[in-house]
Structure 1
Amino acid sequence: MKGPTSYSFYILILSLVLASTVTSHYHECPHDKLPTKKFLIRTHLEGSTDKATKNVGGDDGFNQPIRINIHYNFSIFGVLTEDKQEQVKTIMGQVKENLESILTVRRTPSPLRLRRACDGDNPFILTGPTEPCFNRCSNNSAICSFFPVPSDHLQRCVECNGDRSNCVEAYSDGPGLEDTDLALYVYGVSLFCGASTIAYASSCQLEDQYDRPIAGIINFCPSNIDDDEEVFQVAKHEIFHVLGFSSSLYPWYRDENGNPRTRRDANGNPPTDANGDYVADESTVKMVNLTDWQTRFGPTNKTVTQLVTPKVVEVGRRHFNCNTLEGVQLEDQGGGGTAGSHWEKRLLNYEAMTGVISQNIAFSNFSYALLEDSGWYKVDYSNASILVWGRGDGCGYTAGSCGGYIDTKKRQNQPIAPFCNFFNDEFNPQNLSCNIDRTAVAFCNLVDNYYYYLDVSIPPEYQYFNSGANFNSSAFRLPFYGGIVHTADFCPFYFDLPFRQALEGICRKGIPLTDSNEAAETYGPRSRCVDHSGKWQITNGSNTYTAQYSAGCYEYQCSNSVVTIMIFGQSYTCSRAGQVIQVDQTADGVRYRGGIVCPSCVEICYDDFENCPEAAELYGEFASPAPPTDSVGSLLPMVGLLFVAIFASFAVNY
């Protein structure tokens, strides 16, 4: 057995390799690393009524698009270059336009002014028009404690200098922000930035009539800003945390009538836990005991946290085809930066608001429903994207482990998708296939986690396998066999290829898997992944060899439910799903021989209702799904974790 020094050296080398290869393609979301629960201050706005539980209706309805006011402050520390400042401004303008087209709100009165901090030992005490500072008003104009804002955006401040009978106005009202429902303050400093963090965001103040967030910060980490599309995706994900997808905001949610979903005390505050953090009632967030969580040792119990608000439940029941669904599970791993403030990856996988997602994502009805269930917004669901993962998989899928799901499917002689049980080497992955929505060539991420844990096995509740497609119960280190992404409860699934500098295998925007393009691939906005029936034979002059890969990205189209795949301009029309069509064609002097496995219309054209009626039947709640695109302005947001961060959390948490 290797000693500690060998392990440390291995992990160091592994981390350096990973950092040099995938940093630009994954983002660590550090949401809630800031102590936001302490920062959330309720602000009284002039023109608002004093009745915090007032019903909605009349002129107070959701009839106006949200107005987002973006204020940039790149002067502190001067870290962000001018080019990157312009890049961030352009992308934030796109995100603002996108969100303003999706959300409507009860508009705030103008001008919007925020509360100012009081000086003293407790930086979380803020003043307002009716609450003076016992000592002095702070001359440090900041929100979320750390981030400076213009003094012009703040309310008046009265200070008492230790004598409540002799208080004076130290600061008068600033002009405030006109025509603003959400003030977003944008920074570019290294504070709280991890090695793979592109940006992070947090709500800072809520209006006190309905508790909707009216101010938040988003900080872009200077050393990690690169690809425009990636930054856009991350920014939109992070702002969704500001808007409402945050464990710190659940206790403040309202029902459809504008009444608090969680009981309030005389001051209008929710109850607190032993740490002084606000907690939501079970009408919003509920602990549930799953009683049939299958492991390789047999069934056990597992307690999970579910969001049980009405619209989320409605979307979940329809998506999973489970009429008894009581809630949708929130992430329970990944530490404070991930747990509780994202969807459970095992269930929703590449939904944009899960904690670990790669290049191809869906901002789906689940996250839109969450925002609507906050009681603060109405949402245009036609902007949502189709989520293929988990669609129609039933109540057993939502209430049990992936191990139990795989065992059930195997007993029924059915495919185990979206999961897999092929043991792989993540540094040299074999038997590649397509991911579940065919947006990328992928590998089964079932690996030996031995080194990542420093000889500490995967927790027993996440050990699912005594055997698989290429191993059995005699296999060495079974306690370490599991998926590489721990936020997916160590469930193995077909995952976008790791360790790639230029996004090989990402069909809509990447490049061929090999320099020689041995799979005869075509990449672009009209390409998706198709499986091969076996390894292809490639003949180049007098040299014939077997291709390394068994799937590729190709242009496709559907017409009257018929799928056609194009390879180097040659059309291959499928007569049925699962049909193997032989390919034998020559391009640029290279001969390609092999077979492709036809996907069904709904597998590859799930967002083309006109040409694939089966997709319209399955995803009928979508009014007008968007066609594939490579335009940044209409791309769906992504968030993911760098594998280095995953490995580090293994060592810390287990």
Structure 2
Amino acid sequence: MLLKLDSLNFQLCYVCNSTGHNCRALPRQLRVEDDAPTDIDGNSINDGTDVPATQEEEEDFQGVEDTDFVLYVSAVETERCRRGQTVAYASHCQQESALDRPVAGHANFCPGELSTKYRDLPSVLSTVKHEMLHALGFSVSLFAFYRDENGEPLTERRPDTGNPPMDEELQIHKWSDRVVKNITRKNWMIRGGYMERTFHMIVTPRVVKEVRDHFNCSELEGAELEDQGGDGTALTHWEKRIFENEAMTGTHTQNSVFSRITFALMEDTGWYRANYDHATPLDWGRGLGCKFSMVSCKQWLNTQRFRRKNPAPFCERIKGNPLRTECSPRRNAVVLCNLVRHDTILPRAYQHFDTLPNVAPGEEAHYGGSVSLADYCPYLQEFTWRHKSVLIRGSRCSYEENTPKTDVNFALENYGAHSKCFDHSERVWEQKSCRQIREWQHWGSGCYKYKCESGRLHIVVGNYTYTCFHASQVLQIRIIKRGWLHKGGVVCPPCRELCGEEFASRNEYCKGGEEPLPPNLYPNDVLTCSAVSLTSPAILIATILVLILSVIQK
């Protein structure tokens, strides 16, 4: 619904400081719509003098008929846009008097940070939804106004104003511990020992149920709120460390989803009913238990290392050159461990390693994940390939446009709707022609089409279908394409991991291990070169140099 903005749509105007606090009514003679002086961002300028509103100013206007919520949208490069890497921001403008529900809000999208590329459309749409949810209720400035199922306030009201009490330091209304509770962890494991940490958690009934179900942890007190990022991020988003790609965390890093946990929060405001059929599954941390959801990432890494288990979604491989990629836990993308060296020593609470391979003692305090909001916990993250700052492609398997161009598709990857990520064998993939040998300096995993047929998982590489007979089987690939011999290996995951549900829907099942089919079923191409090609001194020298450089870089 599009509205023509005129004075009949507005009641009192308010002026707030740059953080959205210290709001006060703006006298009619200084209102923006009356051509009051404004700064470069369109903010009203006055001398700070409060002039009481007159009866005429407070009279009710006709408003907007048959409308539950009005969102005013702008795309202005404001001072807040220029601060950090802000993509957008939003807030509610007005609440109705009976149940405190927001009835108007404003969202501004920073033009300089918004991508117009088609591949980024899901990210942009996610940003729009994210900001709308802030205006509708997911906001630290609205927690104190939440209500229970019977419409009763979850936070006591002052008898003189009918509003919750004010926190003078934060300049927001104080909430009760029926909404947000401080939870202290006394033995929070960090480098060299333990410390005590206190977290803010949403503890409303539906949220508590959803987070306990999600993590499979009946002891979890609630859903943790972000404690970093300053005003506008802290306390008004989910904690990045524990909810990584949930869309209501404080920064977009990969494949944002609006989960049942966010739906539950919106319903726990007391203002909405959620249709959970529209929620998207959140894979991050699902089913990992209390030993994941109630401890530090260092403790989780230590536990998994001791149990000789995969530490995903966290990781401990330092990002370096050559790049060693992996698969995301659900095999939806090629990912990298974002563990990097920081120039400065990380704060004590964010130091997660006592030792690291090839890192000098004492230097471990410099190492952590690249995302600060995730408490510098290193985790497996999707990424993009760029050339001279220009985006070439992403690493999500389902996007066909992420398939590498033919001349650089050394591992014969194929991205698309029915593709998943598969690990490569330990040996680096090789491309060989009669004139050159290439050993690519990044490998580890790739995206390929797959099929679930005849009780088996089948992986398609270079238009050939390879059959997996057991987990960890290495499919030896040796295919000539456009004059290049591609040599490498693809590792089979367990059949049930990718085909279990599909087979079950057809009353089929994954077969047990059997003898593989004869090797000659698959191509075993041999590169045939002329004697001139093989004996050319220049070609021999180039080949030797490439191999020497590969050894040096290893």
Residue of structure 1 in register with 2:349 after alignment: 461
Shift of 1:361: 2.3
Match of residue 571 from structure 1: 465
Unpaired runs of 5+ residues, structure 2, are 44-49, 509-554
Q: Please show how residues 93-492 of structure 1 align to structure 2 within 5 Å.
A: 114-117=10-13, 124-126=23-25, 139-141=31-33, 169=56, 173-191=60-78, 192-194=80-82, 196-225=85-114, 226-227=116-117, 229=121, 230-266=123-159, 267-275=161-169, 276-425=171-320, 428=321, 430-450=323-343, 453=344, 457-468=345-356, 470-471=357-358, 474-475=360-361, 477-492=363-378
Structure 1 CA distance, aligned partners of 2:129 and 2:316?
34
* Structure 1 residues 537 and 148: alpha-carbon distance in aligned structure 2, compared to 1, 3 A threshold: closer
Taking structure 1 as reference, are residues 435 and 326 closer, same or farther at Cα in structure 2, changes over 3 Å only? same
For CA contacts below 8 A with separation 6 or more, give which structure has more relative contact order: 1
Please say which structure displays the higher CA radius of gyration.
Answer: 2
Tell me the alpha carbon deviations over residues 542-569 of structure 1, each in whole angstroms, 9 at most, x when there is no partner: 4333233121122234468853322232
Within 2, Cα distance between the matches of 1:376 and 1:560?
51
Q: In 2, Cα distance between the equivalents of 1:492 and 1:268?
A: 46
Unmatched segments (≥5 aa) in structure 1: 1-68, 76-111, 127-132, 150-159, 615-654
- Identity of counterpart residues, as a percentage? 38
SS for the counterpart of 1:378 is coil
Deviations 1:304-352 (A, max 9, x none): 1111111111111111111111111111112223211111111111111
* 1:524 aligned partner, one-letter code: G
Q: CA deviation at 1:603?
A: 5.1
Q: Distance in 1 between the 2:117 and 2:354 partners?
A: 42
**Structure 2 CA distance for aligned equivalents of residues 606 and 311 of structure 1:** 31
**Aligned-CA RMSD value:** 3.4
Farther-moved stretch of structure 1 (113-122 vs 351-360): 113-122
TM score, norm. by length of structure 1: 0.66
Shift of 1:235: 0.8
**Cα gap change, 1:490 to 1:136, in 2 (>3 Å):** closer
SS at 1:314's partner residue?
helix
Say whether the 8 Å CA contact 1:483–1:493 is kept in structure 2.
yes
One-letter code of the match for 1:463? Answer: Q
Aligned to 2:393: 503
* Deviation digits for residues 472-527 of structure 1 (CA, Å, limit 9, x no counterpart): 5x346221011111111111111222563223323233534575111211123332
> How far, CA to CA, are the matches of 1:611 and 1:72 in structure 2?
52
Measure the CA separation in 2 of the matches of 1:177 and 1:117.
17
* 3-state SS of paired residue (2:195): strand
- Whether 1:516 aligns to 2:408 is yes
Letter in 2 for 1:436: P
Structure 1 CA distance for aligned equivalents of residues 455 and 240 of structure 2 = 31
Distance 1:118 1:252, change over 3 A: closer
> In the alignment, which residue of structure 1 is the partner of 2:475?
581
SS in 1 for 2:112: helix
Matched, 1:592 2:486: yes
Where 1:169 maps in the other structure, the secondary structure is helix
Change (3 A) 1:119 1:433: closer
Equivalent AA in structure 2 for residue 253 of structure 1: Y
Tell me how far apart the structure 1 counterparts of residues 332 and 375 of structure 2 sit (CA, whole Å): 23
Residue identity matched to 2:92: S
Distance 2:437 2:133 in 1: 52
User: Residues of 2 paired with 1:136 and 1:414: CA distance?
Assistant: 66
With over 3 angstroms needed to count, the CA separation of the structure-2 counterparts of 1:247 and 1:607, relative to structure 1, is farther
Q: For residues 106-150 of structure 1, give each alpha carbon's deviation from its aligned partner in whole angstroms, at most 9, with x where no partner exists.
A: xxxxxx965323799999444xxxxxx9x75764459xx99999x
Q: 2:437 matched to 1:544?
A: yes
Q: Which amino acid in 1 is paired with 2:370? A: I
Number of corresponding residues: 478
**Hey, what does 2:549 align to over in structure 1?**
none
> What code does the residue aligned with 2:438 have?
Y
Match of 1:407, SS state, is helix
Change in Cα spacing, 1:412 to 1:177, as seen in structure 2 (3 Å) is same
CA contact (8 A) 1:504 1:511 kept: yes
Q: Give distance in 2, aligned partners of 1:362 and 1:531.
A: 25
Per the alignment, residue 31 of structure 1 pairs with none
Aligned partner letter, 1:435: S
Do 2:452 and 2:503's aligned partners in 1 also have CA atoms closer than 8 Å?
Answer: no
Question: 2: CA distance between counterparts of 1:247 and 1:118?
Answer: 19
CA contact (8 A) 2:15 2:23 kept: no
Aligned to 1:90: none
